Amino acid sequence: MIQYDYTMPLSSVNLNWMKETPDQYLFFDIETTGLSAARSDLYLIGYGTILNDEQFRITLLFNDDGCSEPKMLAAFKDILADYKYLVTYNGDTFDLPYIKEKYRQFRQEISFDSITSIDVYRKIRKYKKLLQMDSMKQSALESVMGMERDEFHSGGLLIDTYQDYLGTKDTQLQDMLLSHNKDDIYGLFYVSGSLTLTSFFEGNFSISKTTCTDTQFTIYIQTGRLAIPFDTNCNDIHISGIDEVVTIDIPVIHDTLKYFYKDYKNYFYLPLEQTAIHKDVACYVESAYKEKARPETAYTTKTSSFIRQNKFKQSHIFKYEHTDKDGYIELNDTFINDRIQLKEYLLNILKQIK
C-alpha cells in the first residue's frame, strides 16, 4: 500500500449545510475492479478532511501491488474512528456496503454505528427536475454547480487501467488512477454544497417579511447561502431562491366562499338566506323556513381575500363547493402574523416540489 496526500483550497465551497464543525465530516470514495465485493478487488480508498477552515486535504490509500486490501482497510478504520459524519455520493448503495463486506471478508472487526452517513446523491436526487438535470451522476451535479474537470475518466473504464498498471507499474497509468479518485473526492466536497438546498427545503429558514396586494401574497425568506440558485412553480405558486433569499409569490383571490360544517347533522339550512345555523338556534325558526342540513348545505359564506389551501391541513378551510378536493385559506392578519402556522404552510408547499 502507498499513501498519497494532497492539499486543496477550500475555494468557494459552500459549507452552510453542516450542522457541526467541519472537522467532524469525512468525505469518502472508493475505486474497485467490480460491483461485487466478493468477486472484485478494492484498489483505492480516498478520503478528504477540512483543515483549519482553510484547506481541504485529500488522502489516497492505493493498492499498488494488488494485495494490499487488508492494510488499506486497517488504515481507514483508524481514520474513521475520529469522525462523526461520513459524506459520500451514492455511498449508501455502493461504497459503504462494499467496504463493509471487505472488512468481513478479511475478518477485520469494525462498527459503523457511531458514524452518520450523509449520501449527497440520495438527498439531492429528488430535486433533479428542479435543477433541470438530465443525469444525477456526480459529474453532472458538478457541472450544474459550475465546476468543470480538466479530464474525466469513468470508474468502469479505469478497471482495465488498474490491471495494466499491476502488470507494468507504468507511472502514467498510476497518475490516471490517482487523479480520478482525487478529483472524485474534491468533486464530492464541492457538490456537498448542494445540501444547502435540502437544508432549506427541510425548513432551515426564517420568514423575514411579507407583502400583500389585491392579487399576490409574497413571502420573503432568509436562509443559509444557497449553493445552487433555483426558480420553479408549484401549482400556481412561484418560488425562486438565490444567495440567502427565497421569494414565494402566492396568487390571491377576492371572492365569496363557503365554510362547510363537518358535523352537518347538528345544523339546519335556511334556503332563503343560503346559510346554515346550529340546531340550538334553529329551534327558534319556523319549520317552513328551515330544513335539515346535508353535507353540501351545511355552510356559511364569507367574502374576503383567500389563498389556495395547497393540501395544508387547517381547521377553517373555505370552498366553492363541498366536493372540492382543495380549498382556500382566508388571508387575514391572524394568518399572516402567525409565523409558526405560516411556516408550516410553506413547508407543506415545499414538500410538493421535486
- Give the residue-averaged pLDDT of 68-84: 95
SS3 188: helix
Backbone angles phi, psi at 302, to 5 degrees: -150, 135
Check residue 83 and give its pLDDT: 95
pLDDT per position as a tens digit, 287-339: 999 999 999 999 999 999 999 998 888 889 999 999 998 899 999 999 999 99
Which pLDDT band, with edges at 50, 70 and 90, does 73 fall under? Answer: very high
Taking a C-beta distance cutoff of 8 angstroms, is the pair 36, 97 a contact? no
Res 222 pLDDT > 90 = yes
Q: pLDDT band at residue 52, thresholds of 50, 70 and 90?
A: confident
Q: How far apart are CA 192 and CA 119, in angstroms?
A: 9
Strands 85-88 and 25-32, by their bridges, are parallel
* CA nearest to 86, candidates 6, 103, 95: 95
Which range, of 129-133, 182-186, 267-271, averages the lowest pLDDT? 129-133
Q: What is the mean pLDDT of residues 175-201?
A: 94
Q: In the structure, what pLDDT confidence band is assigned to residue 347 with cuts at 50, 70 and 90?
A: very high
Per-chain mean pLDDT for the chain: 93
Q: Is the pLDDT of residue 53 over 80?
A: no
Q: Is the pLDDT of residue 235 over 70?
A: yes
Give the Cα separation of 249 and 2 in Å (integer). Answer: 56
Check: CB of residue 353 under 8 Å from CB of residue 201: yes
Packing angle, helices 95-105 and 69-80, rounded to 10? 120
* Residue 55 to residue 234: CA distance in whole angstroms: 40
- For residue 157, the model assigns a pLDDT of 83
pLDDT at residue 67 greater than cutoff 80: yes
Please answer whether residues 192 and 119 qualify as being in contact, where contact means their C-beta atoms are separated by less than 8 angstroms. Answer: no
To the nearest whole percent, how much of the chain has pLDDT over 70?
Answer: 99
Contact 138, 121 (CB under 8 A): yes
Q: Which three cell numbers stand for residue 269?
A: 339550512
Task: Report pLDDT digits (tens) over 243-265.
Answer: 999 999 999 999 999 999 999 99
In sequence order, the 6+-apart residues with CB closer than 8 A to the CB of 242 are 226, 229
pLDDT of residue 352: 87
Take residue 344 and report the three cell numbers written for it. 408550516
Count of CB atoms within 10 A of residue 136's CB? 16
**Which band of pLDDT confidence, cut at 50, 70 and 90, is reported for residue 50?**
very high
| The pLDDT of residue 201 is above 70 | yes
Q: Provide the pLDDT confidence category of residue 153 given band limits of 50, 70 and 90.
A: low
Please tell me the predicted confidence (pLDDT) of residue 314: 85
Q: How does 232-264 read in b/e, with b if 16+ C-beta sit within 10 Å?
A: bebeebebebeeeebebbbebeeeebbbbbeeb
Task: Give the helix/strand (H/E) hosting 138.
Answer: helix 138-144
Of 62-76, 143-157, 181-195, 211-225, least confident by mean pLDDT is 143-157
Q: Is the pLDDT of residue 164 over 90?
A: yes
Cα Rg of the chain (Å, integer): 29
Among 207, 223, 159, 239, smallest CA distance to 335 is for 207
Q: Which amino acid is at 246?
A: V
pLDDT at 354 over 80: no
pLDDT score of 152 more than 70: no
